[in-house]
């Protein structure tokens, strides 16, 4: 027997309906602006990152050989592969969201999007989820392709999933902020070349921290990409400190929440997208 009064029952139905409608709005924006565009330009968005990364792995395999050891128990290729995969994941999430927002602004499509009954949080997740999905797909396919060089590797599914999703979320939200700020491609390139790329290259993707002079190690340890790559590498290979990964993961969650708040605020204010 349902003890709810008619008013309470109607409120429950209404709230469920609102949630369903909100999810449908996010899905529609995600599908139309993300999935359709991804399928149209799959060569650039999917094949491009995979080919370039596999070329990197081929060069490393030829230069270092299959038996070159980076850390005890791991070959150089087994050490490099997880870092390279999650770096490409992060860059893909960032670039995809930026591309969508900048193109929509330049072509005037953003006006049509804003006319739809979408709240700021729905706009935020509609755009960012497209970048997240694309980035995760690229990473999964890359890890599968990299087994040619490394053999099958997976130490902890949950650690791998947590740091992969965290990387995709964080950099897609950064992509939202940069995409809304950028009026020209030069502005996007400035951030991509002088912030995102250095963060990835100077994050332990290709080297261990003990190769860095002790006085400079703190600079690398303060890099969020260092935490992401260390955590993802632990999930794939088991190499790393669990204690460090716990606090690094906690700070990553805080950074994601901060970037979500920034993206929501920019959409709410209509920053550079409303006259």
* pLDDT by residue, tens only, the chain of 275 residues: 444 444 433 333 334 444 555 666 666 666 666 666 667 777 777 888 889 999 989 998 888 876 677 778 888 899 999 999 999 999 999 999 999 899 889 888 888 878 877 788 888 988 888 889 889 999 999 999 999 999 899 999 999 999 999 999 999 999 999 999 999 999 999 999 999 999 888 888 888 888 888 888 888 888 999 999 999 999 999 988 777 888 889 999 999 999 999 999 999 999 988 76
Q: Is residue 89 domain-resident?
A: yes
Cα 125 to the center of its chain, rounded Å = 13
Q: Is residue 50 domain-resident?
A: yes
Cα 213 to the center of its chain, rounded Å = 30
Q: Is residue 197 domain-resident?
A: yes
CA 173/CA 261 separation, integer angstroms: 9
Supply the pTM of this predicted model: 0.86
Q: Is residue 275 domain-resident?
A: no
- Region class of 73: left (phi > 0), else alpha (psi between -120 and 50), else beta: left
Q: Is residue 274 domain-resident?
A: no
Q: What is the DSSP string of 47-63?
A: IHHHHHHHHHHHHHHHH
CA 4/CA 17 separation, integer angstroms: 18
Q: Is residue 1 domain-resident?
A: no
Number of domains within the chain:
1
Q: Is residue 226 domain-resident?
A: yes
CA distances from 106 to 55, 185, 270 (A): 33, 10, 15
- State which residues form the domain around 230: 6-269
């Amino acid at each position: 027997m349902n003890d709810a009064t008619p008013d309470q029952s109607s409120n429950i139905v209404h709230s469920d309906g609102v949630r369903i409608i909100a999810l449908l709005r996010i899905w529609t924006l995600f599908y139309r602006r993300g999935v359709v565009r991804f399928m149209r330009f799959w060569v650039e968005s999917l094949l491009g990152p995979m080919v370039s990364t596999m070329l990197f792995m081929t060069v490393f395999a030829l230069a270092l050989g299959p038996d070159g050891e980076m850390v005890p128990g791991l070959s150089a290729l087994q050490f490099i592969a997880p870092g390279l995969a999650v770096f490409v994941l992060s860059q893909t999430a960032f670039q995809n969201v930026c591309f969508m927002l900048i193109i929509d602004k330049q072509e005037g499509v953003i006006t049509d999007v804003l006319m739809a009954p979408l709240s700021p949080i729905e706009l935020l997740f509609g755009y960012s989820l497209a970048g997240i999905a694309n980035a995760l797909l690229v990473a999964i396919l890359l890890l599968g392709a990299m087994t040619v060089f490394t053999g099958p590797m997976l130490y902890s599914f949950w650690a791998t999933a947590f740091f992969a999703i965290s990387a995709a979320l964080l950099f897609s939200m950064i992509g939202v902020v940069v995409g809304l700020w950028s009026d020209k491609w030069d502005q996007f390139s400035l951030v991509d070349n002088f912030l995102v790329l250095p963060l990835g290259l100077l994050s332990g993707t290709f080297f261990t921290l003990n190769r860095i002079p002790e006085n400079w190690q703190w600079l690398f340890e303060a890099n969020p990409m260092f935490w992401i790559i260390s955590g993802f590498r632990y999930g794939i290979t088991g190499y790393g400190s669990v204690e460090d990964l716990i606090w690094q993961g906690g700070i990553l969650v805080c950074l994601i929440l901060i970037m979500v708040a920034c993206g929501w605020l920019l959409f709410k204010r209509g920053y550079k997208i409303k006259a």
